[in-house]
Amino acid sequence: MIVDHDFDDYRQRRVLVMGLGSFGGGIGAVKFLVSRGALVTVTDLRPIEKLTDSLAELKETPPDRLVLGGHDQNDFRSADLIVVSPAVKRDCPFLNEAISAGVPITSEMNLFWKWNRAKVVAVTGSNGKSTTTAMTYSIIEKFLQRQPGRRAWLGGNIGTSLLPVVDQIQQNDIVVLELSSFQLADLNRLQLSPHVAVVTNFAPNHLDWHVDLDDYRRAKQTILRWQTPQDTAILNADDIDVTNWPVHSRRLEFGLDHSGRQGVFFENRQAVVRINGCDERWPVMDWLKLPGRHNIANALAAIAASISVGADVESVKQGIENYQPLPHRLQFIAEVAGRRFYNDSLATTPESAEVALLAFDAPIVLLAGGYDKHVDLSHMAAAIARQAKAVSLMGQTAVSLREMINSNESHTCDISLPQTSFVAAFDWAVEHSAPGDVVLLSPGCASYDWFRNFADRGAQFAELVRQYAAGQS
């Protein structure tokens, strides 16, 4: 059994940070622990040349030791505390060494929760959670700007660790977090749930990490499990699975197609805000600039979360109007030779790719595929067969995707052979596009087989577009 720590003083404690990572969690943990006087060792399977950028961020707060390119089991047995990356499976043999030696194990998010004093609004789901989180933050930020002495903070799985600045967060501030199933599985050990919990949807994902679909669902349900009647749960009324999850707090819903008793719903291009028996209609489509019905759903969820902490209609309007799309999420890169290029590299699930295909009226040439997380891609393949003009297939899932698309006998899209590199995949997509088309990177799969992460994949796509534009000029 994994046991978290119960001490508050980190001075001279030997703390092992397992997995430095690239998105802030490990980096944030090191910064926090070094500032608290801990003796920090960072251990990571990757060699130093793969961690250059992350290590550069620790220049002002360097760890005491680096163990890179592999782990030493003695470090796990002799530590006073281990801070483990969410991506590491909890049955890892090195963690078992620590458990057998009685070493407590925690995570960056658990550390943050231990020290944070502010109210937490948290978002999880299989798809749409990053956009919903960022949009919720945008609204709450506008709301708190009109209240002197209060501010909003954005962090979690969205890529920003708030742990190094946790002492700056005041009790009357509001923290907006994106939480992954990995982070929630750890928080469950502490019996913690946020004050306001948003569940965007649920679909199979990360089955290479979780034991099975039920294990994945149980992890996600942590966001609701430990709430009290004073808290708020916001659920997707259009998702049959999610609507049946147990709720122990005030329940609100949001939906494009289904209306609930209380919440925020979509009707005639308006957001119907139904709270305590009163209906208000807000012109959400006049405010929202993002393409796709899925982004309307994200906006409805963000509105419900924001009004749960007191946001008014003017704050909602300003927050949605001023919201800047996240990098790698249906991000417009450029129009070159009449072709519009969109980077949707954050689409790491098949459902994300499916909704991206529905976001455009123009013909779509798609770049799809990647690392195999052992989830069902058949619905994504059917969507490609229906919606795409052509598809350039990449990574471990390329062969199976090609077979599934071809099994849809009515499809008319051109299908590439499995590509040998990202450059080849991009070049094929451009060659099979025409003026007026959308060239869309929406892989529907994780990036780990060809890239460091989804951000690296998106950045490489943007650079290839730049090179293509330079060649055209």
Looking at the fold, whether 190 and 206 belong to one and the same domain comes out as yes
The answer for 444, left when phi > 0, alpha when psi is -120 to 50, beta otherwise, is left
Number of domains in the chain: 3
Looking at the fold, whether 317 and 338 belong to one and the same domain comes out as no
Helix (H) / strand (E) element for 264: namely strand 263-267
Looking at the fold, whether 307 and 358 belong to one and the same domain comes out as no
Residue 347 lies in a domain: yes
Phi, psi of 414 (to 5 degrees): -75, 135
Residues 125 and 249: their CA atoms lie apart, in Å, by 18
Looking at the fold, whether 308 and 369 belong to one and the same domain comes out as no
Residue 7 lies in a domain: no
The pLDDT value recorded for residue 23 is 64
Confirm if 43 and 97 have CB atoms less than 8 A apart. no
Looking at the fold, whether 129 and 23 belong to one and the same domain comes out as no
- 106, 131, 150 — which closes off a domain? 106
Looking at the fold, whether 95 and 191 belong to one and the same domain comes out as no
Residue 20 lies in a domain: yes
Residue 2 lies in a domain: no
Looking at the fold, whether 198 and 171 belong to one and the same domain comes out as yes
Looking at the fold, whether 294 and 348 belong to one and the same domain comes out as no
Residue 399 lies in a domain: yes
Looking at the fold, whether 394 and 308 belong to one and the same domain comes out as no
Confirm if 326 and 342 have CB atoms less than 8 A apart. no
Residues 282 and 266: their CA atoms lie apart, in Å, by 10
Residue 6 lies in a domain: no
Looking at the fold, whether 163 and 269 belong to one and the same domain comes out as yes
The pLDDT value recorded for residue 2 is 72
Which pTM was predicted? 0.86
Q: What is the CATH number of the domain that holds 41?
A: 3.40.50.720
Q: What is the CATH number of the domain that holds 292?
A: 3.40.1190.10
Residue 268 lies in a domain: yes
Q: What is the CATH number of the domain that holds 358?
A: 3.90.190.20
Tokens of 181: 């199933």
Residues 135 and 315: their CA atoms lie apart, in Å, by 12
DSSP state of 207: T
Print pLDDT tens along the chain (473 aa). Answer: 577 888 999 999 999 999 997 666 899 999 999 999 999 999 999 999 989 989 999 999 999 999 999 999 999 999 999 999 988 888 899 999 999 999 999 999 999 999 999 999 999 999 899 999 999 999 999 999 999 999 999 999 998 899 999 999 999 999 999 999 999 999 999 999 999 999 999 998 887 888 899 999 999 999 999 999 999 999 999 999 999 999 999 999 999 998 878 999 999 999 999 998 889 999 999 999 888 899 999 999 999 999 999 999 999 999 999 998 888 989 999 999 999 999 999 999 898 999 899 999 999 999 999 999 888 999 999 999 999 999 999 999 999 999 999 998 878 899 999 999 999 999 999 999 999 999 999 999 999 889 988 999 999 999 999 999 999 97
CB contact set of 147 (below 8 Å; sequence gap of 6+): none
Residue 4 lies in a domain: no
- 106, 132, 167 — which closes off a domain? 106
Give the domain extent around 313. 110-321
Q: Where do we find the tokens 């969410």?
A: 86
- 321, 349, 373 — which closes off a domain? 321
Looking at the fold, whether 99 and 133 belong to one and the same domain comes out as no
Looking at the fold, whether 374 and 278 belong to one and the same domain comes out as no
